[in-house]
Amino acid sequence: MSWQINGSYMETCNCDYLCPCPLTGLSTTTHGFCLFAMAFNVERGSFDGLALDGRRFIVVGHTPGNMGAGNWSVGLIVDEETDSRQQEALAAIVSGEVGGPMANLAPLMGHFLGVESQPIAFEGSNGSWSVKAGSAVDQALEGVAGLGGEQMYLDNVGHPVNNRLALATAKRSHLHAFGFDWDQEDGRNNGHFAPFDWRG
């Protein structure tokens, strides 16, 4: 089976900036647990001949300890225009069932909580990005610049989305889905954004 999706990604998590997970091999978190919402805007994509262009989805989750310890609870939110076949394709990609970058994380996912459908708005350019999915997710971030005014990045991190992640701080993080309840607007928590190009 052949598939590929590419486009834009942004996420926020509850770790204080700068999130230690990519710097410590998932062995450390700021608060001893993690909440996250990883949002994707698929610009071009196909799954065994099925078009996935224009689809949007969000992987939300909770880890009861450090991410590397596993036992993640993960849910998938897809945009309301996603039909049943596309939904099944995205679930297979996110779960790692059909290979690709998420397959490396599959052993850490202890509980798949299902799929919800919401209207998803994914907006942004340069260093400002935001995503809203009905009442389930509302998050925004702002890229962090270095002393020279240029966007800063983490390189060679081995993150499933991209090996190079832009650094950002969250402007807001609201997550109310699959039993998760998280509201934060103090600007202290972490964010990342990057292009992505997945295939299996």
Q: How far apart are CA 72 and CA 142, in angstroms?
A: 27
Type of residue found at 90: L
Q: How far apart are CA 131 and CA 47, in angstroms?
A: 24
Q: Write down the residue that tokens 């202290």 correspond to.
A: 188
Q: How far apart are CA 38 and CA 176, in angstroms?
A: 14
Q: How far apart are CA 40 and CA 8, in angstroms?
A: 6
Those residues with Cβ within 8 angstroms of residue 129's Cβ, 6 or more apart along the chain or in another chain:
8, 10, 123, 140, 141, 168, 193
Q: Mean pLDDT of all residues in the chain?
A: 97
Band the pLDDT of 140: cuts 50, 70, 90: very high
Which tokens belong to 110?
Answer: 């202890």
Q: Is the pTM of this model over 0.95?
A: yes
Which tokens belong to 26?
Answer: 């998932």
Band the pLDDT of 75: cuts 50, 70, 90: very high
